[in-house]
Structure 1
Amino acid sequence: MDIRYSTGPEDVKRYTTEELRKEFLITDLYQPDQVTATYSHVDRMVVVGIMPVHETVPVEKGIDIWKNFGTHFFFERREAGVFNLGGSGVIAVDGTEFRMGFEDCLYISMGSKEVTFRSDDPENPARFYMVSAPAHKPCKTTFISFEQANKRPCGDEKTANKRVINQFIHPDVLETCQLCMGLTQLAEGSVWNTMPAHTHERRMEVYTYFNIPEGHAVFHMMGQPQQTRHMVVQNYDAIISPSWSIHAGCGTSNYTFIWAMGGENKEFDDMDEIAIPDMR
């Protein structure tokens, strides 16, 4: 498991491109029949990629659970949300199977003991993207299809940010301990996400970008509002965003991204908006 420690804004504003990418960018998440995991000390979030091809892959494959979590199984003190970004597949949670189509989501409760992943077709494997947060009580493991998500259209073609925010793991949809997740789709011709930008001191956030056309990329903006930096992000890359950092992006084409938050609360209005003229 890759470990990422917390970093402060005073240090980060002096980072080179390579140092920024080493601290905040997560690449190569999907390896055949493997579990690829990154543990962030920012709110103790874990970012996981699982691509089963020929095997049924258990969530703890290749992870020393006691060494990394101090527990006896992955979900003993954790909850998670999983999206499928590839071909169809199945997630089994303590014997109950959930069929996962493209962009479907599964919330997995604290206390789940046996969690496995498999693909329907090895020629078109599922890509399971999972974000896990600490939890203090069991909630209900719940499947949320793309159609069942709470949809919030926003933005405008004139400002190149017309998009739909699909809220999957959200207080208006289901109960969780602290985790919130959703999927934002940008319309054709729109390239900006989360602009005007904001920060939220009491929650961190993780983005993963996908549906980026071949030959294109997203320029992800981060840093304090008056000390912005960027990283060039490719298809299926993820970004760790500390609470003090903005998190926005501009693509060379439209794209989709999944956002995941955890921290002090689940209040979406608990944020500090930044006016565009005030940014540097």
Structure 2
Amino acid sequence: MEFRQAATAEASKSYDTEKLRKEYLVESLFVPGELKLVYSHVDRYIIGGVVPTNAAVALEVDLKLIGANSFLERREIGIVNIGGAGTVTADGVDYAMDAKDCLYIGRGTQAVSFASADASNPARYYLISAPAHMTYPTVKAALSEATPQHLGSIANSNERTIYKYIHADGIQSCQLVLGMTLLKPGNMWNTMPSHTHERRSEVYLYFDMPEDGVVFHMMGEPTETRHLVVRNEQAVISPSWSIHSGVGTSNYTFIWAMAGENQSFSDMDMIPMKALR
């Protein structure tokens, strides 16, 4: 498991491209037959990916690294399948996972494993975990069961639908909030006008992008913006002080996950366009 320390806004102002990518971009999460994990000191996220092929892959880590007797002893986890069909097994219960299905697993679950229905078209599970203080039930939701919110317009190149899976009025959790945003064809911008939320951090996973496509992910303080060039199935860690917007070379999809002080989706500090620099 890779570890990332939390960087300050002041320090980030002086980063060159390589340093900015090292601190905030997670480039390789999905490796066939492996479980990949990144531990961020930003709100203690564990970000992961797993691509099971011929055999199931267990959610296992050196427990000394997290100071626990099992991965979910004091954590909760959200899982989204962005690949072929598969199954997630949690304490002996199987959950069939099609593309864009979400599964929340609560604190205290002892054993979790991931499998694919077809090794030639494997499932690709994106994982996001946060500390938890109590236990909520394990719940699965398909995209059709998520709460939709339509935003933007074709005139502003940001017509999109936000699907909320784990939130105050959906799947219950301790602090994790998770959803998926799908941009319609011909639309490239997300989360612009931009915002920050000092009370919560956020992680984005961009996917459904062509091989030669990129997203220019905008980050940094509103008056000290920077950008990261992000490719398919790469994730960005967004601290609470940073904006988190993007524009792609074509439309794309991204999973957003938040943790921190509250679970209110609308708790945002909007940044006027004229204030951005």
Aligned to 2:155: 158
**1:231 paired residue among 228, 232, 236:** 228
Q: Superposition RMSD on alpha carbons, in Å? A: 0.6
Q: CA deviation at 1:16?
A: 0.3
For structure 1, list consecutive stretches of 5 or more residues without a partner in the other structure.
none
Q: CA deviation at 1:228?
A: 0.4
2:265 partner amino acid? F
For structure 2, list consecutive stretches of 5 or more residues without a partner in the other structure.
none
Question: Quick one: distance in 2 between partners of 1:169 and 1:267?
Answer: 11
Aligned to 2:241: 244
CA contact (8 A) 2:134 2:174 kept: yes
Pairs aligned (count): 277
Q: CA deviation at 1:27?
A: 1.2
Q: Secondary structure at the match of 2:39?
A: strand
Question: Quick one: distance in 2 between partners of 1:277 and 1:31?
Answer: 42
Q: CA deviation at 1:171?
A: 1.0
Q: Secondary structure at the match of 1:147?
A: helix
Question: Quick one: distance in 2 between partners of 1:174 and 1:160?
Answer: 30
CA contact (8 A) 2:167 2:265 kept: no
Aligned to 1:57: 57
When normalised by structure 2's length, the TM-score is: 0.99
1:24 partner amino acid? Y
Identity %: 49
CA contact (8 A) 2:104 2:171 kept: no
Q: CA deviation at 1:271?
A: 1.6
Q: Secondary structure at the match of 2:266?
A: coil
Q: CA deviation at 1:214?
A: 2.4
1:79 partner amino acid? E
Aligned to 1:20: 20
**1:261 paired residue among 224, 243, 258:** 258
When normalised by structure 1's length, the TM-score is: 0.98
Question: Quick one: distance in 2 between partners of 1:12 and 1:113?
Answer: 38
Summarize deviations over 1:180-233 as a string: whole Å, max 9, x none: 000000011100000000000010000000001221110000000000000100
1:38 partner amino acid? V
Summarize deviations over 1:1-36 as a string: whole Å, max 9, x none: 110001111110110000000000001101122110
Aligned to 2:2: 2
Question: Quick one: distance in 2 between partners of 1:205 and 1:12?
Answer: 17
Question: Quick one: distance in 2 between partners of 1:267 and 1:122?
Answer: 39
CA contact (8 A) 2:214 2:231 kept: yes
